[in-house]
């Protein structure tokens, strides 16, 4: 232990003996994160940056632990009474930050509010679409009727952050940016959000669960990787997430820094416009309009997949901290297909397929991507472009901030674009349903299907999985859906999973999470 650690330990022992508390309980925590939320409203967007902030201030009925397993939250128990009815028992003696007591009315108000959110880039409606009705039995007992059998209903509830019924009436997302509306039951209270600079939180001393060590938390968005590492080394922040792979070895050799890691559940992939006959960013090499959209041709999509050397990309860009994949989930997760290994690099076959599809000389295409959302996101896009150029496709890469990219992608302004999907449920259903199911807003299907892939048989399998209680049969449906959409139709191009890395300084430790969240209440002092 270095001098700093010895000094802090002695102070902690002294304070515990004299005053009955640990000095770390009276401390500030500064966090440097690669992303920041687009809103403080916990129902505005399902993107992970928003969920991460929400988890500090708001609770869900059912929570997920660091390994994505369900555990009690504001609900202490849940069970099926029959095929269409779930009984949920709520936790007693829970209070919102304003002092009002939590009960079933708050749950009903929350769920009824979600469909009213305007301009959401990624709505929570898909999590509540299966609810037919809600009956309050008593203030702490609720019966949820579902439209059809819903064995995964508890999982859906784990994404819904509960707000107070006292906020009823007109409540816009912008209201949450003010101190008066951002009221939850979570471990921290909202103080302020200065977009691009900081989110400030204070500890909730009356939190029903395990209380955090930190009296004050400042979350600073630092999207630039070198700047984030520099801030940690300089002591400007105490913890950073998304540690750049190129800095892992340097930080590992610094005795003031500790690294924490876990496999990611986020699958990085390339999405394609497979629906429109004419697509905006694909042309002939001379820039002229093509007679048809090449991405609608299965042979072209397969050629693109075979032209990408995933292993070389993982080794060179991530220094081994990435795992190539050929499907939505990693081995060990529900729905993983044993025979669907990562596509082998085969540039000769890629060229043959392009020629067979009628493009022996290739065509021109733009790959759109974020430049501040994922680890090495724009660098990955540039490498993909190089591989495709070798196959005969003239490539251009356009990187942009995530707050520009996602609204444009949702409006279907792109033809060929790179992004990721966090399988934060531990199985394939959520990703398959969101990214590849036929787009149907009213049914909560295909919310992230920005390429508009559609296959009725795939949709049938997904719907069967959604109502099947038998675990083996449900997994079988998910596997068949994966084989169809990715193995047969090549609707998307799976790339890789990354290893998630956090770094702390001083006497701190972090419970790394597969959902990628960087949570202040998971940062603790070493004992």
Q: What is the pLDDT of residues 143-187, one digit of tens each?
A: 999 998 888 899 999 999 999 999 887 688 989 988 788 999 999
The confidence score (pLDDT) of residue 3 equals 35
- Residue predicted with more confidence, 441 or 53: 53
Q: pLDDT by residue (tens digit) across 395-416?
A: 999 999 988 999 999 999 999 9
Closest by CA to 380, choosing from 315, 287, 474, is 315
In a domain, 5, yes or no: no
* Rounded-to-integer distance, Cα 180 and Cα 177, Å: 9
Say if 434 falls within a structural domain. Answer: yes
The interaxial angle of helices 298-306 and 347-356, nearest 10 deg, is 160
User: Where residue 404 sits, what CATH number does that domain have?
Assistant: 3.10.105.10
pLDDT, position 298 = 98
d(CA 98, CA 183): 7
Range of the structural domain that residue 419 is part of = 263-499
Q: Distance between CA atoms of 177 and 188, rounded to whole angstroms?
A: 15
The answer to whether position 203 is within a domain reads no
Lowest mean pLDDT among 1-10, 380-389, 413-422: 1-10
Per residue in 458-501, pLDDT (tens digit) is 999 999 998 888 889 999 999 999 999 999 999 999 999 988 89
What is the distance between the alpha carbons of residues 285 and 521, in angstroms, rounded to a whole number? 53
| Tens-place pLDDT, residues 88-135 | 999 999 999 999 999 999 999 999 999 998 888 888 998 998 999 999
Q: What percent of the chain has pLDDT over 90?
A: 75
DSSP 209-251: SPPPSEEEEEEEE--SHHHHHHHHHHTS-SEESS--GGGHHHH
Q: What is the pLDDT of residues 497-519, one digit of tens each?
A: 988 899 999 899 999 998 889 99
Q: What is the pLDDT of residue 2?
A: 40
Does residue 54 lie in a domain region?
A: no
List the structure tokens of 74.
């504001």
Taking Cα atoms as reference points, which of 328, 306, 324 lies closest to residue 315? 324
Give the model's pLDDT for residue 176. Answer: 92
Which pLDDT score, from 0 to 100, does residue 441 have?
A: 84
Output the average pLDDT for the chain: 91
Q: Reduce the secondary structure of 61-127 to three states and give it as a string.
A: CEEECCCCCEEECCEEEEEEEECCEEEEEECCCCECCCCCECCHHHHHHHHHHHHHCCCCCECCHHH
Asked if the model's pLDDT at residue 23 lies above 50, the reply is no
Q: Is residue 423 one of the residues assigned to a domain?
A: yes
Q: Are 218 and 198 in contact (CB under 8 A)?
A: yes
Q: Is 80 exceeded by the pLDDT of residue 425? A: no
Question: Does the pLDDT of residue 13 top 70, yes or no?
Answer: no
In degrees and rounded to multiples of 5, residue 142 shows phi and psi of -135, 145
Average the pLDDT over 19-41 and give the result.
76
Q: Is residue 87, in this structure, part of any structural domain at all?
A: no
> pLDDT tens-digit profile of 293-348?
999 999 999 999 999 999 999 988 988 788 999 999 888 888 999 999 999 999 99
Does the predicted model carry a pTM greater than 0.85? no
Task: Give CA–CA dist 154/426, Å, rounded.
Answer: 13
Spatial CB neighbours of 474, under 8 Å, sequence gap ≥ 6: 151, 334, 465, 468
Q: What is the pLDDT of residue 9?
A: 42
Can you give the pLDDT at residue 26?
52
Report which of residues 422 and 511 the model is more confident about.
Answer: 511
CA angle centred on 357, ends 355 and 360, rounded to 5°: 25
Going by C-alpha positions, the residue among 378, 247, 254, 257 that lies closest to residue 321 is 247
Tens digit of each residue's pLDDT (9 = 90 or more) over 44-86: 998 889 999 999 999 999 999 988 889 999 999 999 999 899 9
| Closest CA relative to residue 30, chosen from 240, 177, 213, 229 | 240
235-282 pLDDT, tens digit per residue, is 999 999 999 888 998 999 999 999 998 878 889 999 999 999 999 999
Q: Is the residue at 343 inside a domain?
A: yes
What is the count of structural domains for the chain?
1
- Within a domain: 400: yes
Residue 26 tokens, joined = 């009276």
- Given this model, what pLDDT does residue 152 score? 86
């Amino acid at each position: 232990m270095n001098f700093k650690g010895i000094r802090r330990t002695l102070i902690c022992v002294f304070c515990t003996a004299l005053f009955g508390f640990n000095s770390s309980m009276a401390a500030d925590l500064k966090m440097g994160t690669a992303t920041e939320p687009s809103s403080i409203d916990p129902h505005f967007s399902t993107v992970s940056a928003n969920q991460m902030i929400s988890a500090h201030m708001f609770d869900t009925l059912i929570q997920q632990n660091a390994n994505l397993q369900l555990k009690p939250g504001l609900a202490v128990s849940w069970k099926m009474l029959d095929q269409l009815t779930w009984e949920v028992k709520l936790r007693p003696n829970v209070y919102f930050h304003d002092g009002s007591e939590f009960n079933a009315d708050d749950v009903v108000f929350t769920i009824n509010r979600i469909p009213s959110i305007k301009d959401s880039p990624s709505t929570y409606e898909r999590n509540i679409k299966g609810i037919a009705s809600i009956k309050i039995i008593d203030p702490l007992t609720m019966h949820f009727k579902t439209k059809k059998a819903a064995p995964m209903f508890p999982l859906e509830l784990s994404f819904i952050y509960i707000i107070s019924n006292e906020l009823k009436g007109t409540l816009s997302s912008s209201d949450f940016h003010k101190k008066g509306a951002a009221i939850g039951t979570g471990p921290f209270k909202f103080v302020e959000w200065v977009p691009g600079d900081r989110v400030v939180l204070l500890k909730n001393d009356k939190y029903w669960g395990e209380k955090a060590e930190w009296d004050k938390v400042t979350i600073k968005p630092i999207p630039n990787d070198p700047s984030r590492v520099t801030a940690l080394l300089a002591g400007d922040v105490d913890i950073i997430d998304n540690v750049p792979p190129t800095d892992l070895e340097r930080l590992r050799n610094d005795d003031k820094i500790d690294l924490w890691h876990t496999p990611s559940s986020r699958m990085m992939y390339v999405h394609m416009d497979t629906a429109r006959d004419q697509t905006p960013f694909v042309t002939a090499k001379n820039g002229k309009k093509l007679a048809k959209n090449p991405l609608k041709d299965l042979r072209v999509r397969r050629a693109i997949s075979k032209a990408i050397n995933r292993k070389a990309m993982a080794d060179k860009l991530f220094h081994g901290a990435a795992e190539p994949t050929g499907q939505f989930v990693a081995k060990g997760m529900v729905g993983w297909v044993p025979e669907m290994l990562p596509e082998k690099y085969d540039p000769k076959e890629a060229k043959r397929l392009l020629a067979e599809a009628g493009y022996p000389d290739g065509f021109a295409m733009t790959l759109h991507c974020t430049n501040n959302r994922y680890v090495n996101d724009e660098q990955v896009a540039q490498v993909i472009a190089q591989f495709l150029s070798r196959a005969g496709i003239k490539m251009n890469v356009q990187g942009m901030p995530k707050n520009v990219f996602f609204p444009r992608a949702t409006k279907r302004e792109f033809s060929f674009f790179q992004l990721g999907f966090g399988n934060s449920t531990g199985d394939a259903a959520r990703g398959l349903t969101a990214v590849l199911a036929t787009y149907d807003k009213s049914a909560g299907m295909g919310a992230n299907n920005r390429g508009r892939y559609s296959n009725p048989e795939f949709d049938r399998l997904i719907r069967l999985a959604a109502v099947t209680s038998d675990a083996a049969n449900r997994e079988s449906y998910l596997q068949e859906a994966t084989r169809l959409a990715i193995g047969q139709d090549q609707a998307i191009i799976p790339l890789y999973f990354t290893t998630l890395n956090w770094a702390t300084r001083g006497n701190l430790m972090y419970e790394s999470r597969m959902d990628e969240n960087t949570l202040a209440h998971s940062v603790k002092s070493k004992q």
